[in-house]
Structure 1
Amino acid sequence: MGSLSLNSIQVPPAQGQTHSHTVVFLHGRGDSAANFCSSLQYSRDSQGRTLADAFPSFRWVFPQAPKRKCASSPDEWNQWFDVWNVSNFAENEDLQAEGLREVVPKIRDILAKEASDLNGRWDKIILMGISMGSATSVHTLFNLDVPTPDKRLGAFIGFSGRCPFAGRTLDEMRKTLQVDSSPTHNDVLKNTPILLEHCVDDPLVLVGWGRKQREILKGFGANVAWREYGAGGHWFNSPQGMDDVWRNTPRALEGFLDCFYWHGVALMKRELLPEESTPEKPAVSERKPKLLSHEDRTKKNWAKNLADNITKRQAGKKAEK
């Protein structure tokens, strides 16, 4: 794929606002930076605000995933890395390493550039991702060494995500990717507040994969806040999910000790069921196999997700009129 940097869409702070923080937000598989950036306006919090409205002094950077051939079909997708089987991400899993090995250093370069624009304040950089963008962001975090004493980003927020190579240790994951200049410690993971959001009815990245990611990150020493929602599909939950982003992010950016607020009373203004009370869906490997081919399953799942998202966006447009 070459060594060229990633193209990106950039949205400056609101007019009259001084640039205070930057969000680097990775889109999902099959999407584009421009389309994803535009789609965010239809996911709003309980006050009717978009993420950009809620954080008017933030700059938003949306990198564009490269177009890649799919090893399991003749198709090409905008994707950060290739996946052999979207119904079982663990199948032929090492295929995912090639793309991650290529894009992780480029995403690190974007983070470094944005930190430089903020006078070296890495703690004012928020890394976000949805779906495959979240999975890519997680491995960027695994392979990131922040050159400041506190060794942290402002926050990492993942939506509808999972962790590739879930059965491996942090050291094994780094060896699998073989990304240059990766750290040997887990300081950035320990010091960066993390929020993961997942919808229970997600048909593409099942909530069980998200719960597994939560446990992996905790096992690596990360401080993780987990939120799951009854509805939203393979997308954002709105308005509650957007409310949680708004509530969590300012506290996380105030300092490392405040990340414990993510688990505190202020986030419990609405009732949340204990994590243990939500019944687990069966693991992918335990589900009854479908009679569809992998190609048909892929097209069916992604077509359904696209239709659902279009419906949501149309509803958002009607609400604005």
Structure 2
Amino acid sequence: MSTPSAFPPLHTIKPTSTHTHTIIALHGRGSQGPEFAEELFEGQTFNRKDSPRALTELQMDEIHEWFDIYSLTDPSAREELQIEGLVDSVGLLQNLIRHERSLLDGDASRIILMGISQGCATALLAMLVGQHKLGGFIGLSGWMPFRAQIEEIGRKGAGKPVICAEEMAAFFETTFELEGPKPDVAVLSTPILLCHAADDEVVDIGLSRQARAAFEGLGVEVEWKEYRDGGHWINEPQDYDDTVAFLARETPEQRWR
């Protein structure tokens, strides 16, 4: 998969000290990298700590979406429309992950993939297509693309990661015509945090619950955080606290506060 030339340059926030980890964060539909970064860093944890500042953000083209989607109420409607954009966006992410690994001594466990809304859906698929266990995946107010097909993979694999990885490889190759290395079972051991607010008026929380169930069907453990309010954004301060705690636990050698 190659990186499409239509993508603009990355919005990158440089580390304030030694580069030990990279967070690749994807904005939602209708947003942009700089806008998402500014809004993200305005939030604070319960102890009024600023958010982690070691971030690479991506932004799409002029319509600011990662892939075409027919319905946010039912993301499974006319899924064929999503394939072209997902192939391009996932290809971009795979190239970026390879680049960041080269800067981190080849250590994919020092890369965290994160996304909100449609950015979450895109990052989620990119993680499953990958060939390495990442340091973590953080999904906010999102959903799982092609969830029904991935749930079927879980049923065929009976929740056994090795079999599920083989089934996923066949699915991605057939549906997305992917070439190159197959998804490795190590991908399914990436730590996952999913967060969603019950009052989200854009992406129903039920879609995140379905994503969690699909992951669990693949034999993947998911840390699930459900908030009473927060809308289609990040519950403050609890979501920030939960995200920082997740990062601190999965990457204990790095200070996130």
Q: For residues 97-150 of structure 1, what are the alpha-carbon distances to aligned partners after superposition, in whole Å with 9 as ceiling and x for unaligned? A: 11001110111111111111111111110000000000000100111012xxxx
> Structure 2: which 5+ residue stretches go unaligned?
154-167
Taking the aligned partners of 1:111 and 1:86, their CA distance within structure 2 comes to 28
Taking the aligned partners of 2:135 and 2:232, their CA distance within structure 1 comes to 25
In structure 2, which of residues 120, 123, 141 is the aligned counterpart of residue 137 of structure 1?
A: 123
The 3 A distance-change label for structure 1 pair 45 and 184 is: closer
TM norm structure 2:
0.85
Does the 8 A contact of 1:81 with 1:96 survive in 2? yes
> Which residue in 2 is equivalent to 1:103?
89
1:212-227 map, 5 Å: 212-227=210-225
Q: For residues 245-297 of structure 1, what are the alpha-carbon distances to aligned partners after superposition, in whole Å with 9 as ceiling and x for unaligned? A: 11111211249xxxxxxxxxxxxxxxxxxxxxxxxxxxxxxxxxxxxxxxxxx
> Which residue in 1 is equivalent to 2:156?
none
**Is residue 178 of structure 1 aligned with residue 164 of structure 2?**
no
> Which residue in 2 is equivalent to 1:266?
none
Does the 8 A contact of 1:143 with 1:182 survive in 2? no
Does the 8 A contact of 1:143 with 1:179 survive in 2? no
Does the 8 A contact of 1:198 with 1:207 survive in 2? yes
Does the 8 A contact of 1:186 with 1:221 survive in 2? no
> Structure 1: which 5+ residue stretches go unaligned?
68-76, 147-151, 256-321
**Is residue 66 of structure 1 aligned with residue 65 of structure 2?**
no
Does the 8 A contact of 1:231 with 1:237 survive in 2? yes
In structure 2, which of residues 128, 140, 144 is the aligned counterpart of residue 159 of structure 1?
A: 140
Does the 8 A contact of 2:3 with 2:91 survive in 1? no
Once the 2 structures are TM-superposed, how far is the Cα of residue 63 of structure 1 from its aligned partner? 1.0
Secondary structure at the counterpart of residue 34 of structure 2: helix
Taking the aligned partners of 2:3 and 2:109, their CA distance within structure 1 comes to 30
In angstroms, what is the RMSD of aligned CA positions? 1.9
Q: For residues 52-80 of structure 1, what are the alpha-carbon distances to aligned partners after superposition, in whole Å with 9 as ceiling and x for unaligned? A: 2xxx5xx310011234xxxxxxxxx2100
1:181-200 map, 5 Å: 181-189=180-188, 191-200=189-198
The 3 A distance-change label for structure 1 pair 229 and 180 is: same
The 3 A distance-change label for structure 1 pair 126 and 103 is: same
Q: Which has the higher contact order (CA 8 A, sep 6+)?
A: 2
Taking the aligned partners of 1:185 and 1:62, their CA distance within structure 2 comes to 26
Count of aligned pairs between the two proteins: 233
The 3 A distance-change label for structure 1 pair 165 and 193 is: same
Taking the aligned partners of 2:235 and 2:181, their CA distance within structure 1 comes to 34
> Which residue in 2 is equivalent to 1:10?
12
Once the 2 structures are TM-superposed, how far is the Cα of residue 173 of structure 1 from its aligned partner? 4.7
Secondary structure at the counterpart of residue 102 of structure 1: helix
Q: Which amino acid aligns with 1:251?
A: R
**Is residue 94 of structure 1 aligned with residue 89 of structure 2?**
no
> Which residue in 2 is equivalent to 1:304?
none
Q: Which amino acid aligns with 2:26?
A: L
Taking the aligned partners of 1:96 and 1:10, their CA distance within structure 2 comes to 27
TM norm structure 1:
0.69
